[in-house]
């Protein structure tokens, strides 16, 4: 099928590449000419495992192309996906101006029947507004349908998630549009759930909020483990073995971050309030998440007493492993707090240093060339992101380089018993 994706960010680019991979003809549109030029030149603006190879392969096969022209995308495609950012506003509600702009731009060039699909994460009822906007700005009076098709991919494993989804949600009120959507997703061989548009929109916010709730739940349990001498890993295994609960998203740590959960939970709270049904439970989820990081810093402060002039190594800046995304990363918050208290911080991250620097997120921080370089002469090591390569580093080597064998593991990456066997003082989350 001929498809157009408006917006070449994480969701748009990965979706475009995966659609091309299964044989569709895909045009990716972006209004950032620099990004379009990069993509045409074969450069991928984000780090995402497997993405680069997939983009190159499908560009080579002439199934995937890039342009800044919405008109070209709309003219040459049967279905248009909107995958533009929906950033948060100071009050927690969502800034929908990019969605509105995309709807207007489509409307202006729309000549014949098209299905317009919203893939961005949006508040319930946005589909209705998109349809009204297209109707208002489309002088040609062309027929169209609006569909909601939320995306559930995770950064760091986006290609795998998109190629093997648990489910596809199609929110549609028109049979012709539903049939086209089913045809697009046929090659993915995943269960398809067809709903009304509002339900599809709500599924996305409700799913992300539930996952965040699971994280805050286990983080709260980890505090009770610390207070009682229990071990959070055992407790999470024991809870997670119940199929009704599941072990996924029960990893205690310094809290969730990234460009989705913090924004989406705030948005869901704002919508619930707007609809007169304030979702108080989610406010507690936010509070636990915020204080989880504060508690971790308090542990560091307590052990080091005064942070001023202490040499601290940081492993990890990204909000999770296998990505270069540092937006709303708890690791960055920790670094900045340590710097604010006068610590001398040297950080290492396999993929996140360039973007942290470019975005000016960690002023006053030194960058190391390797994890071992970061710990040279350090009085403490803080693990803030659970990159696999960190767990492969030998304690012996680490101890030889550090000034003091002291580790604060914010992601429960290392084995406490082994760390202590090697003479480290070791703090983690929810385990003695």
Which stretch in 67-75, 79-87, 255-263, 346-354 sits in contact with ligand UGA by CB under 6 A?
A: 255-263
CA distances to 128, 219, 366, 372, 374 from 369, rounded to whole Å, are: 50, 32, 10, 8, 7
Helix (H) or strand (E) run with residue 314 in it: strand 311-315
Short-list 26, 108, 35, CA closest to 68: 35
**Per-residue contact string for residues 83-122; x = within reach of ligand UGA by CB under 6 A:** --------------------------------------x-
Q: Is 141 within 8 Å of 165 (Cβ atoms)?
A: no
Work out how close the CB of 216 gets to ligand UGA at its nearest, in angstroms, rounded to a whole number.
9
Residue 352 contacts ligand UGA per CB under 6 A: no
4 catalytic residue (yes or no): no
Which CA distances in Å does 20 have to 41, 54, 96, 179, 316?
A: 18, 9, 28, 19, 33
Is there binding between residue 258 and ligand UGA (CB under 6 A)?
yes
Q: Enter the tokens of residue 146.
A: 């609006």
Q: Which residue among 4, 18, 260, 293 is the active-site one?
A: 260
Residue 249 sits in the site that holds ligand UGA (CB under 6 A): yes
Spatial distance between the Cα atoms of 331 and 325, rounded to a whole number of angstroms:
11
Does position 319 interact with ligand UGA (CB under 6 A)? The reply is yes
The answer to whether residue 412 forms part of the interface with ligand UGA (CB under 6 A) is no
In angstroms, give the least distance from the CB of 170 to ligand UGA.
Answer: 16
Burial classification of residue 142, based on how many CB atoms lie within 10 Å of its CB (0-12 exposed, 13-18 middle, 19 or more buried): middle
What minimum distance in Å lies between the beta carbon of 97 and ligand UGA? 19
253 belongs to the binding site for ligand UGA (CB under 6 A): yes
Question: Which CB atom, from 151 or from 333, has the smaller least distance to ligand UGA?
Answer: 151
Site for ligand UGA in 125-184 (CB under 6 A): 151-155
Show the binding pattern over residues 259-298: x = contacts ligand UGA (CB under 6 A), - = does not: -xx--x----------------------------------
Q: Both tokens of residue 207?
A: 């799913």
Residue 88: DSSP 8-state: B
| 15, 149, 208, 222: which one binds ligand UGA (CB under 6 A) | 208
Pattern of binders to ligand UGA over 213-232, x per CB under 6 A? --x-----------------
The residues that bridge with 407 in the sheet, in sequence order, are 381, 426
Q: How far is the CB of 252 from ligand UGA (least distance, A)?
A: 7
Q: Between 249 and 422, whose beta carbon lies closer to ligand UGA? A: 249
Alpha-carbon dihedral sign for residues 385, 389, 392, 395: negative
Nearest to 330 by CA among 426, 253, 264: 253
378: CB partners within 8 A, 6+ apart: 311, 312, 313, 346, 401, 402, 403, 404
- 240 or 366, CB closer to ligand UGA? 240
Catalytic site residues?
A: 260
Residues that bind ligand UGA (CB under 6 A): 121, 151-155, 208, 211, 215, 249-251, 253, 256-258, 260-261, 264, 319-320
């Amino acid at each position: 099928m001929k498809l157009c994706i408006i917006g070449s960010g994480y969701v748009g680019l990965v979706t475009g590449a995966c659609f091309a991979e299964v044989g569709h003809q895909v045009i990716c549109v972006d209004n950032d000419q620099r990004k379009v030029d990069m993509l045409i030149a074969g450069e991928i603006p984000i780090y995402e495992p497997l993405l680069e190879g997939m983009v190159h392969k499908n560009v080579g096969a002439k199934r995937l192309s890039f342009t800044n022209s919405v008109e070209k995308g709309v003219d040459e495609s049967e279905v248009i996906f909107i995958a533009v950012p929906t950033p948060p506003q100071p009050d927690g509600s969502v800034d929908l101006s990019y969605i509105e702009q995309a709807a207007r731009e489509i409307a202006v060039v729309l000549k014949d029947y098209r299905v317009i699909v919203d893939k961005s994460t949006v508040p319930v009822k946005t589909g209705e507004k998109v349809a009204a906007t297209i109707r208002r700005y489309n002088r040609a009076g062309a027929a169209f349908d609006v569909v909601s098709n939320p995306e559930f991919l995770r950064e760091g494993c986006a290609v795998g998630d998109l190629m093997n989804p648990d489910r596809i949600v199609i929110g549609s009120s028109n049979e012709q549009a539903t049939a086209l959507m089913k045809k697009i997703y046929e090659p993915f061989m995943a269960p398809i759930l067809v709903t009304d548009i509002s339900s599809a929109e709500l599924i996305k916010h409700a799913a992300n909020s539930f996952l965040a709730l699971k994280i805050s739940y286990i983080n709260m349990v980890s505090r009770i483990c610390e207070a009682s001498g229990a071990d959070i890993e055992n407790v999470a295994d024991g809870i997670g073995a119940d199929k009704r609960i599941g072990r996924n998203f029960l990893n205690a740590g310094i809290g969730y971050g990234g460009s989705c959960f913090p924004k989406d939970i705030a948005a869901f709270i704002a919508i619930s309030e707007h609809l007169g049904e304030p979702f108080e439970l989610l406010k507690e989820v936010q509070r636990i998440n915020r204080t989880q990081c504060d508690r971790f810093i308090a542990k560091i402060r307590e052990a080091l007493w005064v942070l001023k002039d202490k040499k601290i190594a940081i492993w990890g800046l990204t909000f999770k492993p296998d990505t270069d995304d540092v937006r709303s990363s708890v690791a960055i918050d920790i670094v900045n707090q340590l710097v604010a208290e006068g610590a001398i911080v040297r950080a290492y991250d396999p993929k996140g240093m360039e973007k942290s620097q470019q975005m000016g997120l960690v002023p006053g921080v030194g960058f190391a060339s390797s994890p071992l370089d970061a710990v040279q002469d350090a009085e403490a090591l803080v693990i803030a992101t659970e990159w696999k390569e960190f767990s492969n580093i030998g304690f012996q080597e680490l101890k030889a380089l550090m000034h003091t064998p002291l580790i604060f593991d914010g992601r429960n990456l290392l084995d406490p018993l082994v760390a202590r066997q090697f003479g480290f003082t070791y703090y983690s989350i929810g385990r003695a």
